[in-house]
Amino acid sequence: MTSPLLTNQPAAADPQPEPLALTPQLRDELAGASQALEQATPEQIIAWAVDRFFPRLTMATAFGPEGCVIIYLLSRIQPQTYVFNLDTGYQFQETLELRDRLAQKYGILVQLKKPELTVAQYEAKHGGPLYQTNPDQCCLDRKVKVLREAVQGMHAWMSGIRRDQSPDRAAAPIVGWDSRFNLVKISPLANWTKSDVWKLILQEGIPYNRLHDQGYPSIGCWPCTQSVMFGQDERAGRWSGSAKTECGLHGMEFEQGGGI
């Protein structure tokens, strides 16, 4: 049975809360929570996040398999959590269709947050596709800046990163301080493996991007995403042929306990 559709808008009607500050007390709380949740299940981690931060809790998803798993879990724990996608204008059509399939099954309509300029306006401004000449700036303008606007009023955000995805993500805590966006960052699947994710997807019939069946283990914007050969790193198809490995949303920006 299809769930009632929830538009998952942020709690904008409430007075704008004060931004969360990383006090010594909060630092200790986050370090303690991360340690306590290290062996917890994703359901337990999300339940803790909802209990501690909802309705000032959000989740950004690019509709990867991890994000689909978290949406499934949120539909069981707190389906009114504000979930959004950074719609750069360069997303695969299969990615946007997945948004509709998830909404139909779980009743959670992920909000599309767009940059100020359309793709045509942006490329005209820069004399052509900036992803070809300066992909870091393109990600900054069409992802990072948009996320900063999308999380205004929030105190914590969840992501679908896993430690085994790449060296950049290997040190990600379950709970930490994201100094890039001044938010608590919660990674419910950090201690899961790719196998764990796909086991749950197949077991529960969770919708996923059809491109995964065509050799695309990690999917971002279509100009910067390629299929990979069997045995390659699952993020090898992202910005293939360049030194770039992250779009700027994730990296070594965490503070847990006393260090970054």
Task: Give tens-digit pLDDT for 205-214.
Answer: 999 999 989 8
Residue 5: per-residue pLDDT: 63
- Euclidean distance between the first and final Cα of the chain, in Å? 45
Q: b or e along 157-186 (b: 16 or more beta carbons within 10 Å of the residue's beta carbon)?
A: bbbbbbbebbeebeebbbbbbbebbebbbb
Token digits of residue 99: 């948004």
Name the fold adopted by 24-213: Rossmann fold (3.40.50)
User: In angstroms, rounded to a whole number, what is the distance separating the alpha carbons of residues 169 and 78?
Assistant: 27
247 is catalytic: yes
237 closest CA partner among 210, 217, 251? 217
List pLDDT tens digits, range 66-113.
999 999 999 999 999 999 999 999 999 999 999 999 999 999 999 999
Lowest mean pLDDT among 18-22, 124-128, 187-191, 197-201: 18-22
Residue type, 27: R
Q: Is the pLDDT of residue 180 over 90?
A: no
List pLDDT tens digits, range 6-62.
656 665 445 566 789 999 999 999 999 999 999 999 999 999 999 999 999 999 999
Show me where the domains of the chain are located: 24-213
Residues 6 or more apart whose CB falls under 8 angstroms from that of 192 comprise: 42, 162
Residues 68, 138, 224, 247: which is the catalytic one? Answer: 247
Asked whether the beta carbons of 61 and 71 are under 8 A apart, the reply is yes
